[in-house]
Amino acid sequence: MLRGLTTITYLADDVAAARDWYAEVLGTDAYFAREAGGGLAYAEFRIGDYQHELGIMDRRFAPPQPDGAAGAFAYWAVDDVRGAWERLLELGATAYQEPIERGPGFVTAAVVDPFGNVLGVMENSHYREVLSSLTS
């Protein structure tokens, strides 16, 4: 049974550059790094209310995609989708999907990071309700 998100892993050809970019985006340094193949092969951040993990992996070490496989699309919770989306663009991401209201309490947007990964952000009323119930 699924218990919750543990790690989202993005791929990059230059893990050191991706680590530095995400450190700027997240406002924190990676807490874990692993060298392999003559350079930085993996870096990982703990972020957010639940300390979810964001990993950056050297594309050379990614498992092959099966024929016809669809990619995953992950959204990270934010308090202000438009503000987060604009900041990501200012830091060098490119627009993928402008902020869209999906229904009451749900707004999404997405960018493509400088390393080719889709980074989704979402205002999610359910996330806020769960967080509120855990902190009250």
SS3 (DSSP) at 109: strand
Neighbouring-strand partners of residue 111: 95, 119
What are the Cα distances from residue 108, in Å, to 18, 28, 84, 98? 23, 24, 11, 8
Do residues 104 and 96 make contact, with C-beta atoms less than 8 angstroms apart? no
* pLDDT tens, the chain, 136 aa long: 656 777 899 999 999 999 999 999 999 999 999 998 899 999 999 998 888 899 999 988 887 777 766 666 788 999 999 999 999 999 999 999 999 998 888 899 999 999 999 999 999 888 788 878 887 7
Q: Which CATH number fits domain 1-61: 3.40.50.300, 3.40.250.10, 3.30.720.120, 3.40.50.280?
A: 3.30.720.120
pTM of the predicted model as reported, rounded to 2 decimal places? 0.81
